Amino acid sequence: MAAQKLLLPYNFSDSDRKALDFVISTFGHRDDIEVTIFHAHTPLPSIDVSSENVTGRLSQNINYLSQKVSEVETSLQEVRVELVRHGFSNDRVKLKFKPRKKEIAAEIIDFHASEKFNLLVLNRKAGRIGRFFTGSVHAKVAAALRNATVCIVC
């Protein structure tokens, strides 16, 4: 039987932790689940370093941000290790770490469509007034997907 493909968007929030715990407790004992942990980060700007006036300071800032992106990728690897430690097969836990080109909901929707996941586990963050106007990621993703199973962990 083919493995069921589960997509878990992860951004290191407390709500994401709840979704991770749900995936571990619900699917950790199953051999037929393949989990992909997804994180889309803000891309670093490219800079022209031919001019030295501002470049030194700007280059330091870019190096700092590049280091932070590497730290996030390392932290994502640790989430992968935790899934393996809790029963998921090593070859069935994958990472997708990419610079984002669109808003995060659109990135999740596009990745879900391209890889044809069977299940998507999202979290629902506690409401902020800003989300009243912009809409939440889970609501946008759930509204956009058709013929998909979406689990929202509160």
Determine the pLDDT at residue 109: 96
H/E element, 52? helix 52-85
- Mean pLDDT, rounded, for 5-25: 95
Q: What mean pLDDT value characterizes the chain? A: 87
For the chain, the maximum distance between any two Cα atoms, rounded to a whole number of angstroms, is 61
Determine the pLDDT at residue 126: 57
The answer to whether residue 128 scores a pLDDT higher than 60 is no
H/E element, 109? helix 104-115
Whole-angstrom distance, CA of residue 92 vs CA of residue 83: 10
- Portion of the chain with pLDDT greater than 90, in percent: 66
- Portion of the chain with pLDDT greater than 70, in percent: 84
Assign domain 4-153 one CATH number from 3.40.5.90, 3.40.50.620, 3.40.50.2000, 3.40.190.80. Answer: 3.40.50.620
Whole-angstrom distance, CA of residue 134 vs CA of residue 131: 5
Determine the pLDDT at residue 133: 46
Going from N- to C-terminal start, the domains of the chain cover 4-153
Whole-angstrom distance, CA of residue 147 vs CA of residue 132: 27
The answer to whether residue 49 scores a pLDDT higher than 60 is no
The answer to whether residue 36 scores a pLDDT higher than 80 is yes
Angle 125-129-135 (CA atoms, 0-180°, nearest 5)? 60
Q: pLDDT digits over 50-106, tens only?
A: 555 556 667 777 788 889 999 999 999 999 999 999 999 999 999 999 999 999 999
Residue 131: band (very low, low, confident or very high) from pLDDT cuts 50, 70, 90: very low
- Specify the pTM: 0.85
Which has more confidence, 74 or 134? 74
